[in-house]
Amino acid sequence: MTGVARYSEAVRRLFTTAPRSGFLPDGPGARRHGEAMALDRAAWVRFDLRLHEGRVADARFRAWGCPHLIAACALVAERMVGQTPAEAVVLDPVALARELAAPPEKLGRFLVLEDALHGLAAGMREAQ
């Protein structure tokens, strides 16, 4: 099996383009972030978002890990925009792994992504 064949088309596209990766640009609204890492799983994830008028106006991520993790972060960040804060932090890591056709051994990295969202949710609760 070649390296390319191990990744679904969605993973290849999201990893290659990495939409919403990088730093959150300035804009109106409150900034919030959530972060998690597990070095034993070779994964680090940080989400930064801006809330404006009760919705996620912008979302960005930075991550270190495998192509499956980068692709998952990009997909989650894309989906956050326009959602309420409560909606933005809901994730089923098993369903996300299935959607991206990630092998079972990658689930631990998706759990790190979920932990970053939990940190984001906690930061939003503290700010209220």
Reported as a single tens digit per residue, the pLDDT across 1-36 is: 455 558 999 999 999 999 999 999 999 999 999 999
Q: Is 21 within the bounds of a domain?
A: yes
**For residue 49, what is the domain's CATH number?**
3.90.1010.10
| 80, 82, 85, 91 alpha-carbon torsion, rounded to 10° | -30
Structure tokens at 45: 């994830």
The rounded percent of the chain whose pLDDT value lies above 90 is 90
The residue type of 41 is R
For residue 93, count CB atoms less than 10 angstroms from its CB and return exposed for 0-12, middle for 13-18, buried for 19 or more: buried
Number of separate domains in the chain? 1
Domain of residue 71: give its range.
7-127
Q: pTM score, two decimals?
A: 0.92
Q: What would the mean pLDDT of 89-103 be, rounded to a whole number?
A: 96
The residue type of 40 is D
- Determine the pLDDT at residue 127: 62
Q: Is 104 within the bounds of a domain?
A: yes
Q: How confident is the model at residue 123 (pLDDT cuts 50, 70, 90)?
A: confident
Q: What would the mean pLDDT of 119-128 be, rounded to a whole number?
A: 80
Q: Is 112 within the bounds of a domain?
A: yes
Q: Is 54 within the bounds of a domain?
A: yes
Residue 67 · residue 27 · CB < 8 Å? no
Q: What would the mean pLDDT of 63-89 be, rounded to a whole number?
A: 97
